[in-house]
Amino acid sequence: MGQFAISMPQLGESVAEATLLKLKVKSGDIVEMDQEVAEVETSKSVMSVTTSYGGVWKEWKAKEGKSYPVGTILGFVEVAGRKEQGTEKRTRGPASKGAHSDGKKKVGGAKNGVDSNGHGVTPTIQGLPVPARAAGASYMSPRMKARIEELGLHAADLAGLAPSGAKGRVTIEDFEKFMVDLERQKLTPASSMRVAVADAMRRSWTRPLATVGRGVRMDEMMAHRKKHPGKPGPTLYVARALGIALGESSTPAGRLVGNRIVHPSSIDIGFAVEAEDGVLVPVLRKVNQTKLDAMLASYGALMAKAKERKLPAEAVGGSVAVVTNYGTFGLEWATPIPLPEQSLVLGLGVAKKVPLWNEKTGGFVPVNEAGLTLSFDHRVIDGGAAGRLLARVAELLESPEKL
């Protein structure tokens, strides 16, 4: 009499794990070929697990209510007249809904290997290995989604949770243990601004974002600022340069909605201001049409109101891009994230002395150079267009009299 293992079958191309809902046989029961022995639940449906051999059910290795990776041994059946040991040799695909009065799909076992605990297997899909603990789960179970929603959490809040399920999937047991451990830690409430920033960044990250960068010589701008009576800040110079560049071609500032790009009706540019426990973004209107000198007063007033967190409603929202000067923190390079309603964010790093080769003198000369980065929605423009836009901004910054 041979003993054959019944495994958690491959229940679909993207399904790496399933929850065992109900065991339909017990030790000593006679089972027939193709008999349903268990019900399992995936994120998509409830299915039936069947056995490919008739015989006597020996034992279950799995428990109801637990989730198991594809390939995990669920139990064993003894077959008279057969000597093979291990897993079933045959995999049955899903049967049509009409073949079962209860409407559940019917699947068979899948070949697998296991560790000493019956877990941590390397199941196969048509011969291709699918590591049970690989990263990048493709879905969350309905039970998990409901529990997260019940607690007012987001999937991003679980980024630090160590998963134990197939393909790095977080199981409901992992989640509940995480929540229990969380309550043992020091907890402080997040401010309303921090929650708002977190929500905006989650929405921004649903898009494919990319960043390009280059150096820009700052000597001409610094000399221009030194002579200017209003002493405009670097952020204002960058905002004006970006406004001119986008006024020449507004496509990079457009938003993709369906199969159309929505072009802005006005080149309004925001600038990031650090406030208590967050960042505020006041907006300069019609930057492409307004000279640097004319923007000085409104820029200073908006900066002051932002630091006091007293921005009027008309001074926020509706911008097509944001400028952020992370050089004020001594940073040379960064990859800022555009706000959800925008496709662009332009960043300026700290200026540093670097050697520049001078063809006329045949030697190096010291110049002040800063890193300039452009992060963008890759659905709207590609790297080439982003690079050309950044080059135009750098060109204008190196000729500040044009601003």
Could you give the percent of the chain with pLDDT greater than 90? Answer: 42
Give pLDDT, residue 10.
77
Cβ(187)–Cβ(156) under 8 Å?
no
What confidence tier does 105 reach under pLDDT thresholds 50, 70, 90?
very low
Give pLDDT, residue 153.
82
**Torsions phi, psi for 267 (to 5 deg):** -85, 85
Give pLDDT, residue 13.
55
- The distance from CA 401 to its chain's CA centroid, rounded to whole angstroms, is 42
Average pLDDT over residues 241-268: 91
Residue 184 reports pLDDT greater than 90: no
What confidence tier does 83 reach under pLDDT thresholds 50, 70, 90?
low
Give pLDDT, residue 284.
95
Average pLDDT over residues 160-169: 67
Give pLDDT, residue 103.
41
Partners of 321 in the β-ladder: 269, 344
| 293-311 tens-digit pLDDT | 999 999 999 998 888 888 8
What confidence tier does 238 reach under pLDDT thresholds 50, 70, 90?
very high
| 61-75 tens-digit pLDDT | 999 988 888 888 999
Average pLDDT over residues 342-364: 92
* CB atoms near residue 176 (< 10 Å): 11
Least reliable range by pLDDT among 59-63, 161-165, 353-357: 161-165
| 267-289 tens-digit pLDDT | 999 999 987 777 889 999 999 99
Give pLDDT, residue 139.
53
Least reliable range by pLDDT among 7-16, 203-212, 296-305: 7-16
- Under DSSP, is residue 80 helix (H, G, I), strand (E, B) or coil? coil
* CB atoms near residue 13 (< 10 Å): 9
Which CATH number does the domain 2-129 belong to among 3.30.565.10, 2.40.50.100, 3.40.50.720, 3.30.465.10? 2.40.50.100
Residue 4 reports pLDDT greater than 80: yes
Whole-model pTM? 0.60
Q: At what angle do helices 172-182 and 142-150 cross, to 10 degrees?
A: 20
Helices and strands in the chain, H and E counts: 7, 23
Give pLDDT, residue 189.
84
**Torsions phi, psi for 354 (to 5 deg):** -135, 155
Average pLDDT over residues 13-26: 81
What confidence tier does 191 reach under pLDDT thresholds 50, 70, 90?
confident
* CB atoms near residue 167 (< 10 Å): 20
CATH number of 207-402: 3.30.559.10
Give pLDDT, residue 220.
94
Average pLDDT over residues 157-175: 72
Residue 39 reports pLDDT greater than 60: yes
Residue 101 reports pLDDT greater than 60: no
Give pLDDT, residue 301.
92
Distance CA 209, CA 380 (A): 10
All structural domains of the chain with their residue ranges: 2-129, 207-402
Mean predicted lDDT score pLDDT of the chain = 80
136 burial (CB, 10 Å; 0-12 / 13-18 / 19+) is exposed
